[in-house]
Amino acid sequence: MIKKIVEDSSSIWTQGTGQYPEVVLSSRIRLARNLAQFPFPLQQTETSSNGVLERVAQAIAKDKSLGFYRLEEIPELQRMVLMEKHLISPEHVQNPENKGLVINKDGSISIMVNEEDHLRIQCFESGLELERLWEKANSLDDQLEESLDYAFDEKYGYLTCCPTNLGTGMRVSVMMHLPALVLTKQAERILSQLSKVGIAVRGIFGEGTETLGNLYQLSNQLTLGQSEKDILLNISEMSKKLVDQELTARNYLLQNAGLKIEDKAKRALGILTNAKIISSREALSLISDLRLGQTLNLIDKIDLRLINELFLLCQPAFLQVLNGSVMDPEERDIKRAEMFKEKLI
């Protein structure tokens, strides 16, 4: 199952389906849970962490749609691709000892075991689909709780390693492409205001990562003192407002600078299909320009799903999987340019 997921050029967040696919790539719900009978991960021993792995493996054993893996048994390059697909965290890649992964066949469910918490239950959907996503995440959580005894307090809710995850333990994230707000110089002002309503804005790979390709992740900052319904409603409303602002900005650009945006998109296509060497940073910027042109109908015959897949295909680890061997940075830049020709011509 892992090999197939790693080698598949698509993922849930590249499908181009769901609500507002021209702006929203994907939605994610993550639930932080800990097992009551084991020390939290920061105080774990090898024995206790293996105990958690065994209990989780037993809990999902009857569900044939889920597979369980010890991370140290997954090659590092494959772990890096799983991170590029947002299925595991950088911590899981770099320190795989006594850690695990539960995953389903299409990667729409991923459970990190012994990360910051014993369980990080993640469910994904393409586009803005928070209600359906919550139904899936809640059902999976209930299924696990039938076999696992969660650490829970009547006052503080689910107990977690980080205080910001107390309460529901739920993080709702929405991955958005906001090139028009950046080009019209509204992005910094609008996104900075979101913190006032309890929403954090992060880069493409989450907390502490850089914003590249005009891709932004929105998520709730706190989980204590709010119900799951409150969190979902807040993220949904703010995401829809941001979608409206982005689409308004795109319409403004089309009406007032349409030729320049068309030129920008077609220059991006020209570079992507003719360059001999392309860095990952340059690639993400060019894909962003191409995607904006496509959603404004300024680029012909390029499917939105393919453009979304390019965000994944150009990543360092995935390129090496495509090549079948480890490559140095310059070799990756050459392979990246070859890949774009293959996909776009």
Return the HEC string of the chain: CHHHHHHCCCCHHHCCCCCCCCCEEEEEEEEEECECCCCCHHHCCHHHHHHHHHHHHHHHCCCCCEEEEEHHHCCHHHHHHHHHCCCCCHHHHHCCCCCEEEEECCCCEEEEECCCCCEEEEEEEECCCHHHHHHHHHHHHHHHHCCCCECEECCCEECCCCHHHCECCEEEEEEEECHHHHHCCCHHHHHHHHHHHCEEEEECCECCCCCCCCEEEEEECCCCCCCHHHHHHHHHHHHHHHHHHHHHHHHHHHHHHHHHHHHHHHHHHHHHHHCCCCCHHHHHHHHHHHHHHHHCCCCCCCCHHHHHHHHHHCCHHHHHHHHCCCCCHHHHHHHHHHHHHHHHC
120 phi-psi bin (left φ>0, alpha ψ -120 to 50, beta other)? beta
| 187-240 pLDDT tens trace | 999 999 998 888 999 876 554 456 789 999 999 987 888 899 999 999 999 999
Instruction: Report the candidate in 97, 79, 74 with the shortest Cα–Cα distance to residue 89.
Output: 79
Give the residue-averaged pLDDT of 123-129: 96
122 and 87 Cβ atoms separated by less than 8 Å = yes
Q: Which residue has the higher pLDDT, 197 or 158?
A: 158
| 167-183 pLDDT tens trace | 999 999 999 999 999 99
Question: What does the pLDDT read at residue 182?
Answer: 96
Instruction: Report the candidate in 75, 38, 74 with the shortest Cα–Cα distance to residue 56.
Output: 38
Question: What does the pLDDT read at residue 47?
Answer: 95
Q: Please, which residues have CB within 8 angstroms of residue 188's CB and are 6 or more apart in sequence?
A: none
Q: Residue 317: pLDDT above 90?
A: yes
Give the residue-averaged pLDDT of 233-253: 97
The whole-angstrom separation of Cα 140 and Cα 31 is: 10
Chain mean pLDDT for the chain? 93
Q: Which residue has the higher pLDDT, 309 or 203?
A: 309
Q: Residue 261: pLDDT above 70?
A: yes
Question: What does the pLDDT read at residue 208?
Answer: 46
Question: What does the pLDDT read at residue 205?
Answer: 56
Indicate the CATH number of 2-246 among 1.20.1250.20, 3.30.590.10, 3.30.70.270, 1.10.760.10: 3.30.590.10
| 50-61 pLDDT tens trace | 999 999 999 999
| 71-80 pLDDT tens trace | 999 999 999 9
Question: What does the pLDDT read at residue 96?
Answer: 93
Question: What does the pLDDT read at residue 210?
Answer: 61
| 267-300 pLDDT tens trace | 999 999 999 999 999 999 999 999 999 999 999 8
Task: Please name the residue that has the structure tokens 């459970």.
Answer: 111
Enumerate the CATH 3.30.590.10 domain ranges in the chain, comma separated: 2-246
279 and 305 Cβ atoms separated by less than 8 Å = no
Q: Which residue has the higher pLDDT, 204 or 17?
A: 17
Task: Please name the residue that has the structure tokens 């990360």.
Answer: 115
| 86-125 pLDDT tens trace | 999 998 898 899 999 999 999 999 999 999 999 999 999 9
Q: Please, which residues have CB within 8 angstroms of residue 227's CB and are 6 or more apart in sequence?
A: 168
